Chains A and B, each alone.
Chain A
Amino acid sequence: MRRIISILLENEPGALSRVVGLFSQRGYNIDTLNVAPTEDPTLSRLTLSTAGDEKMVEQIIKQLHKLIDTIKVVDLSDGPHVERELMLVKVRAVGAELRSELKNSVEIFRGHIVDVTPSSYTIQMAGDGKKLDAFIEAIRDIGTMEVVRSGVSGIARGEKFLLV
């Protein structure tokens, strides 16, 4: 069972290492992780995706709560939510036919070409993980030179907020 967990924590040195350490220490997996300060610079917002059975996920959430630096923890996948991941893909783009094929694919997936050289395109794509996977699959025959993904960020839909 895949889960997206959002954490609000004190923006203190070592706070992130406590979260990451908890996962290795207790034998849980982190699939993706991203973290940045919020508009209140004393707080960080961290989003991670993990997988495990119900009992394990319940323990993960309780263990995260237990960390002294943690202010709030929510399992976004518990309710309706929006999740997005940013991906940058560098592909070899040589020849008019290939360049136009790539452009078409990028448009269909609502991405952008953000860097162009005579021999390459760098494509920016945002969406949920499945959409990003689908794009990579769509251009598989062309092949990628480099792919970088940000990991999932998420927010609950409607009148639900993760605030202090």
Chain B
Amino acid sequence: MEKLSGGDLLIRALRDAGVEYIWGYPGGSALHIYDAIFRQDDVKHLLVRHEQAAVHAADGFARATGKVGTVLVTSGPGATNAITGIATAYMDSIPLVVISGQVPSSKIGEDAFQETDMVGVSRPIVKHSFLVKRPEDIAATVAKAYYIASTGRPGPVVVDIPKDMTDPAIKVPYDYPAQVAMRSYQPNERGHSGQIKRALKTLLAAKKPMIYAGGGVIIDNASELLTTLARKLNYPITNTLMGLGAYPGSDRQFVGMLGMHGTYEANQAMHHADVIFAVGARFDDRVTNATDKFCPNATIIHIDIDPTCISKTVGADIPIVGSCKTVLTDMLALLEGMAGPDQSALGEWWATIDDWRARHGIYTADRFEPSGGSLIKPQDVIKMLHKVTGGDAYVTSDVGQHQMFAAQYYLFDKPRRWINSGGLGTMGFGLPAAMGAQLAFPDAMVACVTGEGSIQMNIQELSTCTQHGLPVKIINLNNSALGMVRQWQDMQYSARYASSVYEDSLPDFVALTEAYGHVGMRVTEYDQLEAKMRECFAMKDRVVFMDIVVDRAEHVYPMQIAGNAMNEMWLSKTERT
């Protein structure tokens, strides 16, 4: 059997795990590994400017492709800088393997230079973690890490490797396991057939059904199955923030996103439904509003691969533990032999929904003041982005108002096109995530919708884009304020803008972008927006930063009123349900 040093063995194992790219940043404890990377061509390394960005980039790559993202950082600050990225991936169930260098085993516990207990620090935000104790264990550990990260409910796995494990002087046999079997981890994919039958009967007997689909559908590549089922039944469907694109956003049956900034019709339809069919969604607090007032008349069917998601916040009447893909496949097969839903009840239900749409729907008519002159509405920027990109871009976002506007107005027709930090809400996610998506799809349009607040949290990555030729487009909705914070301060703190404005401290984003070797544009007039944006996307091989000055006074609506049922919303600054 071939003998390799731990460093070479690690990179060989990554290759055999199917890894093409590693995002990372070197440092003392990881140097044997970096030397091993240098001496081969199978696995490529992309140097970032901050470890947080390495994790977000690998995360964006994973979300865009469905593959596992890979990160390599050094011990101590390298590892702790990665933490926000790991927590982001954990909250959104994104498969990542994060390899961290560690001080040599003989020094662990001595407060050595750049020592942090990475397994301990990351424990609450990983699916699992390993500390490598023998170089002989590296290959099997890597195989397990990729298996755990990508199966069941996916998530990040940390592999912490003390420096002596990768010592070039110590060579051990290389043996990558053909398959992984773990007695303590056997994720259950198939749903219980009796429960599936019960669920389908209940679903077909519904008079006011709602399909509520989340990120699990996208993670499990079950969008086609879900779309087929929804169309066969002709039931209304809503997607969560994480589920956008699971069902085509421009389809008639799609009633928009639900939840805190969901559409009027989606939240009303959920509230009045008699059967809710939840697929790969987790009844997050940003969806349900007050759980004791949540959907009072509904029988809840809940499919989830993770049993802990079932009845965690809202009780499920018919739980099905299994993957979206297998359960939906079983349901579609069963549906063949069954009588369809009650068409007249369904017709009435659609009439009610269409009435809600006509009354307050954001897609029926603009519910905001029209843009014009030097007034650019952020919603119009997103609508323009959709128009210019033909709805076919990968759109990443940061966190805040711009994120909600993008979620509401860029009607995603395909899964994996909308890449945002839904669970953790991590500002600084958008640009590195866009780099990950662009790396995966070099010819695709990748737009990072951001704000002048979020972009500054990882703006150093403009340099990474230069080095690795990642021509992402940055759509900066610049309202010179932390927009969502300001909105809450308007609504709940009598417009006392505590630390949400920059006064005159914002940089000249055009000059800054140019300093990194990219193209900068500033847009201040609405009638320039389309031409400038077309110019931006025509520069296929350049990074373009569009700094667009938008209306600072704009709020995101609808907005659920906290502590109430999910259909109680502000529809504008003055109008509520």
Query: In the assembly, what is the distance between CA of A116 and CA of B236, in Å?
Result: 78
Chain B nearest Cβ from A42, distance in angstroms: 9
Tell whether B311 is near chain A: CB-to-CB under 8 Å.
yes
Tell whether A27 is near chain B: CB-to-CB under 8 Å.
no
Q: Is the CB of B183 within 8 A of A59?
A: no
Partner of A59 from the list B127, B133, B308 (CB cut-off 8 Å) is: B308
Residues 1-40 of A, flagged 1 when their CB comes within 8 A of B and 0 if not, give 0000000011001100110010001000000000000000
Most buried by A among B127, B133, B183, B306: B183
Q: Is the CB of A66 within 8 A of B123?
A: no
Tell whether B290 is near chain A: CB-to-CB under 8 Å.
no
Q: Is the CB of B307 within 8 A of A17?
A: no
Q: Is the CB of A71 within 8 A of B184?
A: yes
Query: In the assembly, what is the distance between CA of A59 and CA of B312, in Å?
Result: 7
Write out the residue numbers on chain A whose beta carbons fall within 8 Å of the beta carbon of B310: 62
Q: Is the CB of B311 within 8 A of A58?
A: yes
Tell whether B140 is near chain A: CB-to-CB under 8 Å.
no
Q: Is the CB of B306 within 8 A of A66?
A: yes
Q: Is the CB of A66 within 8 A of B308?
A: yes
Chain A nearest Cβ from B48, distance in angstroms: 28
Q: A13-B131, A68-B148, A68-B185 are in contact. Are A21 and B307 (CB under 8 A)?
A: no
Most buried by B among A9, A21, A66, A164: A66
Tell whether A153 is near chain B: CB-to-CB under 8 Å.
no
Write out the residue numbers on chain B whose beta carbons fall within 8 Å of the beta carbon of A63: 308
Tell whether B519 is near chain A: CB-to-CB under 8 Å.
no
Q: Is the CB of A10 within 8 A of B184?
A: yes
Chain A nearest Cβ from B529, distance in angstroms: 46
Tell whether A69 is near chain B: CB-to-CB under 8 Å.
yes
Query: In the assembly, what is the distance between CA of A69 and CA of B306, in Å?
Result: 16
Tell whether A55 is near chain B: CB-to-CB under 8 Å.
yes
Partner of A14 from the list B131, B183, B308 (CB cut-off 8 Å) is: B131
Most buried by A among B120, B185, B310: B185
Q: Is the CB of B123 within 8 A of A9?
A: no
Residue in A closest to B144 when the chains form the complex, CB atoms: A68
Query: In the assembly, what is the distance between CA of A68 and CA of B128, in Å?
Result: 7
Q: A17-B120, A21-B123, A68-B128 are in contact. Are A9 and B184 (CB under 8 A)?
A: yes
Tell whether A65 is near chain B: CB-to-CB under 8 Å.
yes
Tell whether B129 is near chain A: CB-to-CB under 8 Å.
yes
Most buried by B among A55, A62, A65: A62
Tell whether B119 is near chain A: CB-to-CB under 8 Å.
yes
Please classify the interface of chain A as helix (H, G, I), strand (E, B), loop, or mixed, using the class held by over half of its residues. helix
Most buried by B among A14, A58, A68: A68
In the complex, how many residue pairs between chain A and chain B have their CB atoms under 8 Å apart? 37
Write out the residue numbers on chain A whose beta carbons fall within 8 Å of the beta carbon of B308: 59, 62-63, 66
Q: Is the CB of A68 within 8 A of B127?
A: yes
Residue in B closest to A25 when the chains form the complex, CB atoms: B124
Write out the residue numbers on chain A whose beta carbons fall within 8 Å of the beta carbon of B307: 62, 65-66
Q: How many residues of A contact B (CB 8 A)?
A: 20
Tell whether A70 is near chain B: CB-to-CB under 8 Å.
yes
Residues 306-318 of B, flagged 1 when their CB comes within 8 A of A and 0 if not, give 1110111000000
Query: In the assembly, what is the distance between CA of A164 and CA of B186, in Å?
Result: 13
Chain A nearest Cβ from B78, distance in angstroms: 21
Q: How many residues of B contact A (CB 8 A)?
A: 20
Query: In the assembly, what is the distance between CA of A63 and CA of B120, in Å?
Result: 18
Write out the residue numbers on chain A whose beta carbons fall within 8 Å of the beta carbon of B124: 21, 25
Write out the residue numbers on chain A whose beta carbons fall within 8 Å of the beta carbon of B312: 59
8 Å CB contacts to B: which residues of A106-132?
A: none
Q: Is the CB of B184 within 8 A of A68?
A: yes
Query: In the assembly, what is the distance between CA of A66 and CA of B305, in Å?
Result: 11
Write out the residue numbers on chain B whose beta carbons fall within 8 Å of the beta carbon of A68: 127-128, 148, 182, 184-185
Write out the residue numbers on chain B whose beta carbons fall within 8 Å of the beta carbon of A69: 184
Query: In the assembly, what is the distance between CA of A58 and CA of B309, in Å?
Result: 11
Chain A nearest Cβ from B572, distance in angstroms: 38
Chain B nearest Cβ from A12, distance in angstroms: 9
Residues 112-144 of B, flagged 1 when their CB comes within 8 A of A and 0 if not, give 000000011001100111010100000000000
Write out the residue numbers on chain B whose beta carbons fall within 8 Å of the beta carbon of A18: 123
8 Å CB contacts to A: which residues of B510-533?
A: none
Query: In the assembly, what is the distance between CA of A13 and CA of B117, in Å?
Result: 13
Write out the residue numbers on chain A whose beta carbons fall within 8 Å of the beta carbon of B120: 17
Residue in A closest to B124 when the chains form the complex, CB atoms: A25
Q: A17-B123, A21-B124, A25-B124 are in contact. Are A70 and B131 (CB under 8 A)?
A: no
Can you list 14 A-B contacts (CB < 8 A)?
Answer: A9-B184, A14-B119, A14-B131, A17-B120, A21-B123, A62-B308, A62-B310, A63-B308, A65-B307, A66-B307, A68-B182, A70-B184, A71-B184, A164-B183
Interface, chain B (partner A; CB < 8 A): 119-120, 123-124, 127-129, 131, 133, 148, 182-185, 306-308, 310-312
The 10 closest A-B pairs by CB, nearest first: A68-B128, A62-B308, A71-B184, A25-B124, A62-B307, A68-B185, A10-B184, A21-B123, A63-B308, A66-B308
